[in-house]
Amino acid sequence: MPVAGARFHFRNRGVMRAQPRLVMAWLGLSFAAIAWAQTAPRPENFIKWRQSAYQVIGWNSGRVKAALAGNYDSHEVASAANALAAVAASGLDKLFPAGTATGKGWRETTARESIWSDTGKFRALNDEFVRETAELARLAAAADQKSVQAQFQKVARTCKSCHDKYRL
């Protein structure tokens, strides 16, 4: 016949086995939370990413402008227009989260505070930029220099309207 204390000991074994699982689960969740917190982008990363994206936009706009001013190369224009459309559609407005109005990425940010106070208008201008660059890419593929010239002017006006409102 089993001793009363032995039965008690046996019951505790199940509890003892469960506790390490709970502890391990808690530790696992804690380490996951710590790892996620360490990988969450810092404000200066957002500033760097948007500065980089706008450098790519500037470079590709320059390629289109140069081709339109010089010897028109439809392949060069189509390549640059596709890059513009891709960067524009990549979610540029997501690179302006709260807390990134000031600070330094590659250099000090030139974003105005009004981006965060007037997000609706900012997003509308971003959406317009996406549409205009997509149209530029479509027209560039057709290699019609006059229509590309007219559409590139629309893209440039869209850029300027955003810079006038939201850039220092």
* 121 and 60 within one domain: yes
* 89 and 156 within one domain: yes
Question: Which range of residues forms the domain containing residue 11?
Answer: 1-40
Min mean pLDDT across 2-11, 68-77, 109-118 is at 2-11
* 78 and 23 within one domain: no
* 128 and 74 within one domain: yes
DSSP code for 112? -
**What tokens appear for 164 in the block?**
């006038």
Gap between the Cα atoms of 82 and 134, Å rounded: 8
* 153 and 134 within one domain: yes
CATH of the domain at 71: 1.20.120.10
Binning pLDDT at 50, 70 and 90, where does residue 135 land? very high
| pLDDT tens-digit series, residues 31-78 | 565 655 566 789 999 999 999 999 999 999 999 999 999 999 999 999
Using the Cα atoms of residue 163, residue 93, residue 82 and residue 44 in order, give the sign of their dihedral: positive
**Predicted TM-score of the model (pTM):** 0.76
What's the count of helices (H) and strands (E) in the chain, helices before strands?
A: 6, 0
pLDDT over threshold 80, residue 3: no
Helix (H, G, I), strand (E, B) or coil at 104: strand
Min mean pLDDT across 11-20, 80-89, 129-138 is at 11-20
Instruction: State how many domains the chain has.
Output: 2
